[in-house]
């Protein structure tokens, strides 16, 4: 086929997909990255940090991204980290390393991301659920269930509700029982530091809580980077616990989960971080929170019930027959997600979810309710 034919064919498929710039993807934790990040992606598409000896420049870039992740998580510059494919891989790596250190059982709430269940399953770690109170891990139930040698997974920005588990208190309990505390801040890691600066919260989630050993924090969510760009940072070198000999590679070993790693996205995450900077990310969070509050206010004006006041830019609207409404919205071109457990529509107020989009969406929802 010649290039034109290929382009035409690709375009046909492209038009079947949804795109962030259309504004109608309301249930996703991603958004359209800035052009400079996409340029960086293509410039570095050949880089493969699975074989870092060949890509010294990209190794340096990865360290710059990790340094920024450590700044967001109140870590120190000499802590450890990698940019990985996403939050799922980051969570698997953290739990794998903890298992190699001798920890055997995982305690997490049912609102922890499914990757925690997946990791426990893969690693043959037993998993016990800690009860949820008001959308957050119950301290009383944790105290009842915790045993020495457990891995506790706390979430800073839960997938369904965007709530922050009480990590400071969880940390104290972990220290009393010599447990391993992993914080999944895949989404909230790029939000909470700015919510603090903007006066929305004073909660901590990072290494300023002494029990925290590892944190998942993803540039490809609120870091505005194109995927695949998750992040895993740690206080001690967890990567040496899971490294494996790989004589055919330049450095002779592999210290993660994947072999070949698409690393254009590492350069892209760096470009996004340079483009926005700390203040730029704060502005993004400020805008997303303004739109979050706008959505809550407008939804209430239209007599919809908000499940709980959002803690970050994730809003849940309580709806009867939520599965049916989701299908109806989908048929009208909206990419919405639901929380069947809470009987709610879940809207992640990413930068592409503007006030205009919110108004259009609520109008559509009103029509569906009437019909």
Q: Report whether the peptide linkage leading into residue 247 is cis, meaning its omega lies within 30 degrees of zero.
A: no
The piece of 58-66, 83-91, 256-264, 359-367 that touches ligand PLP (CB under 6 A) is 83-91
The one among 33, 52, 75, 87 contacting ligand PLP by CB under 6 A:
87
Binding segment (CB under 6 A) for ligand PLP, from list 2-10, 56-64, 154-162, 331-339: 154-162
**Residue 159 lies near ligand PLP (rule: CB under 6 A):** yes
Radius of gyration in angstroms for the set of CA atoms belonging to the chain, rounded to a whole number:
21
Considering beta carbons, is residue 165 or 255 the nearer one to ligand PLP? 165
Candidate list 115, 214, 265, 291; residue touching ligand PLP; CB under 6 A = 115
Count of chain residues binding ligand PLP (CB under 6 A): 15
155 near ligand PLP, judged by CB under 6 A: yes
Among 96, 180, 187, 276, binds ligand PLP (CB under 6 A): 187
3-class DSSP assignment, residue 195: helix
Contacts of 206 (CB under 8 A, 6+ apart): 72, 73, 74, 75, 183, 185, 189, 212, 215
Question: Residue 157 Cβ, how far from ligand PLP at the closest point, in Å?
Answer: 6
φ, ψ for residue 145, nearest 5 deg: -95, -20
What is the smallest separation between the CB atom of 322 and ligand PLP, expressed in angstroms?
Answer: 19
By the rule CB under 6 A, 189 interacts with ligand PLP: no
The helix-helix angle for 56-72 and 264-301 (nearest 10°) equals 30
Q: How far apart are CA 98 and CA 104, in angstroms?
A: 8
* Contact stretch for ligand PLP (CB under 6 A) within 18-26, 182-190, 287-295, 299-307: 182-190
Angle between helices 264-301 and 355-370 (to 10 degrees): 50
CB of 113 to ligand PLP, least distance (A): 4
Residue of 200, 133, 209, 202 whose CA lies nearest to 170: 209
List 186, 217, 225, 296, residue binding ligand PLP (CB under 6 A)? 186
Q: Tokens 């038009």 map to which residue?
A: 15
C-alpha torsion sign, points 261, 264, 267, 270: negative
List contacts with ligand PLP (CB under 6 A): 29, 86-88, 91, 113, 115, 155, 157, 159, 184, 186-187, 218, 230
């Amino acid at each position: 086929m010649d290039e034109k034919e290929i382009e035409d064919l690709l375009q046909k498929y492209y038009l079947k997909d949804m795109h962030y710039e259309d504004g109608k993807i309301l249930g996703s934790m991603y958004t359209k990255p800035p052009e400079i990040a996409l340029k960086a992606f293509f410039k570095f598409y050949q880089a493969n940090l699975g074989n870092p000896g060949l890509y010294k420049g990209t190794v340096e870039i990865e360290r710059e991204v990790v340094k920024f992740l450590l700044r967001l998580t109140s870590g120190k510059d000499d802590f450890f980290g990698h940019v990985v494919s996403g939050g799922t891989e980051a969570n698997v790596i953290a739990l794998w390393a903890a298992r190699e250190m001798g920890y055997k059982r995982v305690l997490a709430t049912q609102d922890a991301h499914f990757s925690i269940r997946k990791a426990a399953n893969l690693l043959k770690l037993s998993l016990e659920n800690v009860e949820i109170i008001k959308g957050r891990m119950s301290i009383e139930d944790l105290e009842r269930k915790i045993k020495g040698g457990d891995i506790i997974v706390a979430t800073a920005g839960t997938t369904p509700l965007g709530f922050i588990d009480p990590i400071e208190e969880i940390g104290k309990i972990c220290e009393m029982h010599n447990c391993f505390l992993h914080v999944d801040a895949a989404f909230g890691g790029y939000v909470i530091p700015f919510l603090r600066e903007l006066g929305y919260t004073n909660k901590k989630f990072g290494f300023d809580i002494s029990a925290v050993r590892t944190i998942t924090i993803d540039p490809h969510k609120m870091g505005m980077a194109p995927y695949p760009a998750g992040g895993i940072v740690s206080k001690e070198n967890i990567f040496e616990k899971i490294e494996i000999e790989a004589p055919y590679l330049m450095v002779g070993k592999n210290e993660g989960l994947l072999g070949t790693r698409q690393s254009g996205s590492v350069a892209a995450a760096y470009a996004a971080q340079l483009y926005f900077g700390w203040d730029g990310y704060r502005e993004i969070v400020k805008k997303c929170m303004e739109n979050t509050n706008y959505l809550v206010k407008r939804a209430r004006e239209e007599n919809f019930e908000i499940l709980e006041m959002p803690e970050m830019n994730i809003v849940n609207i309580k709806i009867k027959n939520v599965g049916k409404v989701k299908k109806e919205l989908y048929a009208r071109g909206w990419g919405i997600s639901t929380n069947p457990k809470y009987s709610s529509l879940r809207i992640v107020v990413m930068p592409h979810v503007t006030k205009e989009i919110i108004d259009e969406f609520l109008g559509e929802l009103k029509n569906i309710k009437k019909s």
